[in-house]
Amino acid sequence: MDTANRHHRRRRLSGALLACTAIASALPAFAAAMTALVHKPSVDVRGAPDFKAPALATLKRDAKLEVAGQKGLWFEVKLADGRTGYVRVNDVRMAYAANEGGDANVRALFTGKAGKGRVTETAGVRGLDESSLASAGYDAGQMAALEGHRVGAADADAQAAADGWVAMAVPWPAEATKQKPGGATQKAKRGGFGFARGLMSMAGVGSSLGDSAMNVAEKSMGKSEEEMSAEELALGPEIAGRVLGAAPLWKDEAAQRRVNVIGRWLASHTSRPELPWTFGVIDSPEINAFAAPGGYVLMTRGMYELLADDGEVAAVLGHEIGHVVQRDHYTVIHKQEVAQAGTDLVASQVNVGGGLAGQFAKDYATRYGAKVLLTSLDREAEFRADQSSEVYLARSGFDPLSLYAVLQKMTAFGTKSAALAQLYRTHPPLGDRLDRIDTVANPGVAAYSTR
């Protein structure tokens, strides 16, 4: 692409983002303040959203504040004497709202790319649940559109340079890494099981019970890196295509471009940058995001509209990217595969470069649809995804506290929020996630939380 066209594309994107920022800054004036409690032993309320600004007051733990808005990673608060000041997003803890009405999105104060009347949607609008994801058919047209928005690493790097996102070297000892290539594949291992079956038959000890045990053993075998990657790459499009069959892409080209640029930039700073990373915003009012194996990440419109800036978009995408890198949903699928041993589910043998991985993916999606994306993962898997988001944010030039800000906003919706019903069902309580961030420090991330 020539230089003139590239600059024109950047100007269009930057213009769209500036428009989003203008809308976001105007919205809090229409909403009532939300209650928050000081979450540290003591907190200085600053006169401006800057650590160098003079302190207007010092408040002790559990002191009550009214949050009236947000400026970056600072909350605008009202003091008892009527003055307005600022505290960092992790200095306080948003109080859970007791109930939710039709104006819950407005009451939450924090809407990033809103307008168009959407912030007043009633929370009773049904979002995506297990039944809708299980029954939805694969939408080839929507899938082509999703992949058509895919951004390459080079374009993401160019946009990062234009926007001042500076990559950092941030170590993470717990980071997931791929297995070493090579080693025995399941195909070779299955050959050994076939030999064992033959010996059992010759010895006259073959039985349906023995065959069933052998089937379970075969499916429980560890797969090679090549085999797991092949299955992930085949499963991703099949599952994402069915999510799109339940909820199509949001018709906002700037939003689709934005999540792909930010997502691809983040993914370049993970241990799996080679995946065909693909991101999209689906037209659903609920607040949620999904990660399918192989690098497919989808965010709902309700979630996207809640996010104030690029850092917050990156925080949500980083959490989902973490699930992909850690193979969390793929592990669930493998467990389901083992549980189905002895049935007509396609065998787990994978011939890399052949058609068996693709056939397995199609058969799996036909049987289960995309409901695996609403499976409750282990609590530690969710905490680890939050930690991975913080690391990816720091590596990509964003402040890790952006994730904290997003979780605080969701807290403000309340425990009975229909917009967050599925997220509450599949994730640990938001307070627990914030507590984990507070108490489990990552030395590689801490240095970047004051930027």
> What is the pTM assigned to this prediction?
0.81
Residue type, 415: T
Those residues with Cβ within 8 angstroms of residue 283's Cβ, 6 or more apart along the chain or in another chain: 247, 248, 249, 250, 251, 301
- Unique residue bearing structure tokens 């990552």: 442
Q: How far apart are CA 27 and CA 114, in angstroms?
A: 8
Residue type, 40: K
In tens digits, the chain (451 residues) has pLDDT values of 554 444 444 444 444 443 333 323 323 333 457 889 999 999 999 999 999 999 999 999 999 999 988 999 999 999 988 899 999 999 999 887 655 443 344 344 555 443 333 444 444 445 788 899 999 999 999 999 999 999 999 999 999 999 999 999 999 888 877 656 555 555 554 444 444 444 445 555 444 444 544 454 455 456 788 989 999 999 999 999 999 999 999 999 999 999 999 999 999 999 999 999 999 999 999 899 999 999 999 999 999 999 999 999 999 999 999 999 999 999 999 888 777 654 444 444 444 444 678 888 888 898 899 999 988 888 899 999 999 999 999 999 999 999 999 999 888 887 767 777 788 788 888 889 999 998 877 767 877 765 4
In this prediction, residue 157 carries a pLDDT of 97
In this prediction, residue 329 carries a pLDDT of 93
Q: How far apart are CA 106 and CA 257, in angstroms?
A: 26
